[in-house]
Amino acid sequence: MTESRVPRRRRFLVCEPRHFAVQYAINPWMSTGRPVDVVRALDQWQALVDTYRAHGHTVDTVAPVPGLPDMVFAANCAVVVEGRVFGSLFHAPERRPESVPFEAWFKTEGFEVQHPESVCEGEGDLVPAGRWILAGTGFRTTRAAHREVQEFFGVPVISLTLVDPYFYHLDTALFVLDDGTGMGDGNDGNIAYYPGAFSPGSREVLERLYPDAVIATREDALAFGLNSVSDGRHVFIAPEAGELAERLAARGYVPVPVDLSEFHKAGGGIKCCTQEIRESRS
């Protein structure tokens, strides 16, 4: 018998892919020889936004800037916890200018923003999960940034080492299904992840923290099945990740397929295009 899941309304920040293109190669998915269909990308992105709103979520937008083709990947711009914003300092020089319009947007909206001193790529590598933040390193975000994040938020940060270049960000290898109560009652929520993306020690950490996690195959991970967004009940997921969707459904989650395949050409998917704004619960 499956469990009954309860969704929680979320607030998301996105950026229209008006200037989306693959103009450089900074991960194994990217090839300047693969042209992007911008019209198709716009249609897919709009379908994602419409799907979020149809499920009761709030969606804000930041204006795209010419010359910043990866700005559509809004998750990389920052991580927001309890209404406080820790910004980004991208590893690739080509992406560093993206932090400026995102940080300006947050400041205009009245958020406190901290700019990192070390390389840090927002929710790409920093995944809030109840009482702690799961933090990826190995390809982009540095361990020094993990320490900065812990000092800024006062939340325990758990470092996880990524070892497969196809899963260069944590949000390509893991996502939070349910972030729990955060009340110290032992309900720390649950995750889905692909063990092969992590170092042996990091796999042991995840096994200890999440003994009931949903485990994905490499095939579903390569289909961007783990670059998903969950509201606690509905999981917005790549339609190609069929086996993972079945495993989620067996646990009582409701898979909501959304095709963002045009963005796979740049190594991104649903979560990459989605920044969650976690406001203060005062």
CA distance 98 to 134: 23
Check residue 183 and give its pLDDT: 38
Q: What is the chain's percent helix, strand, coil content, to nearest 5?
A: 30, 20, 45
CA distance 173 to 244: 13
Q: What is the mean pLDDT of residues 27-34?
A: 95
| pLDDT tens per residue, range 169-202 | 999 999 999 987 443 444 679 999 999 999 999 9
Percentage with pLDDT > 90 across the chain: 93
CA distance 134 to 259: 26
3-state secondary structure 239-254: CCCHHHHHHHHHCCCE
Question: Which among 15, 77, 120, 272 is annotated as catalytic?
Answer: 272
Q: Which residues of 154-187 are buried (b: 16+ CB within 10 A; e: fewer)?
A: ebebbbbbbebebbbbbbbbbbbbbbbebeeeee
Q: What is the mean pLDDT of residues 29-38?
A: 94
Check residue 179 and give its pLDDT: 83
User: Is 272 tagged catalytic?
Assistant: yes
Backbone phi and psi for residue 255, each to the nearest 5 degrees, phi listed first: -65, 135
Mean pLDDT of the chain: 95
CA distance 243 to 217: 8
| Among the listed residues 89, 74, 84, the one whose alpha carbon sits nearest the alpha carbon of residue 128 | 84
Decide: 73 and 62 in contact? Cβ < 8 Å: no
| pTM (two decimals) | 0.96
| pLDDT tens per residue, range 217-272 | 999 999 999 999 999 999 999 999 999 999 999 999 999 999 999 999 999 999 99
Decide: 257 and 33 in contact? Cβ < 8 Å: no
pLDDT over threshold 80, residue 1: no
CB neighbourhood size of 110 (10 A): 7
Q: What is the mean pLDDT of residues 31-59?
A: 97
Give the angle subtended at the CA of 1 by the CAs of 4 and 250, to the nearest 5°: 75
Check residue 187 and give its pLDDT: 65
Check residue 2 and give its pLDDT: 54
User: Is 15 tagged catalytic?
Assistant: no
CA dihedral 172, 224, 163, 195 (to 10 degrees): 90
Q: Report how far apart, in Å, the C-alpha atoms of 124 and of each of 78, 173, 247 are.
A: 9, 10, 24
pLDDT over threshold 60, residue 155: yes
Decide: 75 and 274 in contact? Cβ < 8 Å: yes
Q: Report how far apart, in Å, the C-alpha atoms of 193 and of each of 78, 170, 218, 227 are.
A: 22, 9, 10, 10
Check residue 281 and give its pLDDT: 60
Residue holding tokens 């963005």? 263
> Rg of the chain's alpha carbons, rounded to an integer?
17
Chain-centroid distance of CA 111 in Å reads 20
Question: Which among 57, 91, 146, 169 is annotated as catalytic?
Answer: 169
| pLDDT tens per residue, range 104-136 | 999 999 999 999 999 999 999 999 999 999 999
